[in-house]
Amino acid sequence: MIKNEISVFLNNKSETMLDNNVDQTLLISYKEILKDDQYFDFIKSIGNGGFFFNQSLHIYSFISTSDFSNIQLVNDVLSKEFGYLFEGLFSFGQEVFGNQFAFDKSDGSIVLFNVETGDRERLSDDFEGWLKYLIENLDYLTGNGFVKSWCEVNSFHYNQRLVPKVPFVIGGEYEMKNFYASAFPKFLLYYADLAKQIHNLKDGEKVRLRIENYE
């Protein structure tokens, strides 16, 4: 049962004016693909996705509007930009830095897709397990505390994620001065460019990164 977890989400949901009307055709099509009843019960219970925990967690929505909350549009961008790195995955949400929470379609497990490196970290065997794990490790997995600090002095719009000026993978620090807010899909284009350059590098191997300006 996930009633307790749903209550936590509802108590920490941001109120927005965004389109939240369910696209039933889209929803039904993905029920045939994902086969996880707990996930779809969750989506229904929380009002078809949205923003949670001070906008640090974004759960994508089954909507017809072509914007940053449209689950199909986001996955199309991820598949196009990350290519083989994202193969076999289906993202249902993201944390504050744009890392993706995704189903591994091969076995229904939940992984964290690191957008800087293209690496995958298995978090749970299924969606229910992910919910419990997320709430137990909320700040670590969402960046909730970081967002609170950011919003004290900066704006943070619903279509944005916080991106490090110096990537974490090459030593960038988790300090306010190392971040800027980037809008969808620009932050995904930036990350994909970076990930494809470094994904297959061996430890200690040197590389000259070409970082494009996606602002």
**What residues are paired with 113 via a beta bridge?**
100, 120
Alpha-carbon span 143 to 122, nearest angstrom: 18
Written as tens digits, the pLDDT of the chain (215 aa) is 588 999 999 999 999 988 889 999 999 999 999 999 999 999 999 999 999 999 999 999 999 999 999 999 999 999 999 999 999 999 999 999 999 999 999 999 999 999 999 999 999 999 999 999 999 999 999 999 999 999 999 999 999 999 999 999 888 999 999 999 999 999 999 999 999 988 776 666 565 666 665 56
Confirm whether pTM is higher than 0.85.
yes
Retrieve residue 2's tokens. 């996930």
Query: Which pLDDT score is estimated for 109?
Result: 98
Query: Which pLDDT score is estimated for 210?
Result: 67
- Structural contact between residues 110 and 123, judged by C-beta atoms closer than 8 angstroms: yes
Query: Which pLDDT score is estimated for 170?
Result: 84
Give the DSSP letter of residue 175.
S
Give the DSSP letter of residue 13.
B
Alpha-carbon span 186 to 196, nearest angstrom: 16
Buried b (16+ CB within 10 A) or exposed e, 142-151: bbbebbeebe
